[in-house]
Structure 1
Amino acid sequence: MSKLTILANIVAKADKVDLVKTELLKLIDLTRVEEGCLEYNLHQDNENPAHFMFFENWQSRELWQHHMNADYMAAYGTAVDGAIESWTLNEMSHIA
């Protein structure tokens, strides 16, 4: 399988934007040093500051799954419990 691209869209509750942003920023340095992480970039929507998006590239799905099971990802989930309006994740393959 070719590299895996992940698009993760996170929408914070209106009164929890700063909390969610702070917790998302904590993930950056920890993730970028993980085996298999090729790219891990966080974006914030210019029109809707509650909407965040990670654009990620991984060497393989297995290495990405290892990332998703990391202790610090569980800690993130606990920290933002009740602060997220919606969350979607797309696993994508590069085709051209």
Structure 2
Amino acid sequence: MSKLTVVANIHAKPDQIELVKAELLKLVPITRAEKGCINYDLHQDNEDPAHFTFYENWESREIWQEHMNAPHLAAYLAATEGAIDRFTLAEMTPIG
């Protein structure tokens, strides 16, 4: 099993920042308690409050995929439908 780092960038629509932030914050304690989650850290850009970043480390890609299919992720997607301007995700492997 190879450790997986995930960097997810979420850009809320300007009028939906507080909704998106509240929904993202709900994910933190639930996800941190998941099997195989090493860290799950949420950040908000100091210059652009609509930009949020998750920096995550997982024991394996398979475990992360289980997380992506979890009910709390589905609830987040439903709650923020139409509130996200753009979303990017990078799966990365530590090399140093």
Aligned length: 96
Indicate yes or no: 2:48 matched with 1:48.
yes
Q: Secondary structure at the match of 1:27?
A: helix
Which residue of 2 is the match for residue 15 of structure 1?
15
Match of 1:59, as an amino acid? E
Shift of 1:58: 0.1
Indicate yes or no: 2:88 matched with 1:85.
no
**Runs of 5+ unmatched residues, structure 1:** none
Shift of 1:26: 0.1
Which residue of 1 is the match for residue 38 of structure 2?
38
User: Structure 2-normalised TM-score?
Assistant: 0.99
Q: Secondary structure at the match of 1:87?
A: strand
Percent of matched pairs sharing the same residue: 62
What is the CA–CA distance in structure 2 between the aligned matches of 1:81 and 1:70, rounded to whole Å? Answer: 17
Indicate yes or no: 2:62 matched with 1:58.
no
User: Structure 1-normalised TM-score?
Assistant: 0.99
Match of 2:25, as an amino acid? L
What is the CA–CA distance in structure 2 between the aligned matches of 1:24 and 1:31, rounded to whole Å? Answer: 11
What is the CA–CA distance in structure 1 between the aligned matches of 2:3 and 2:50, rounded to whole Å? Answer: 29
State the 4+ residue runs in structure 1 displaced beyond 4 angstroms. Answer: none
Shift of 1:2: 2.2
**Runs of 5+ unmatched residues, structure 2:** none
Match of 2:76, as an amino acid? Y
Shift of 1:87: 0.2
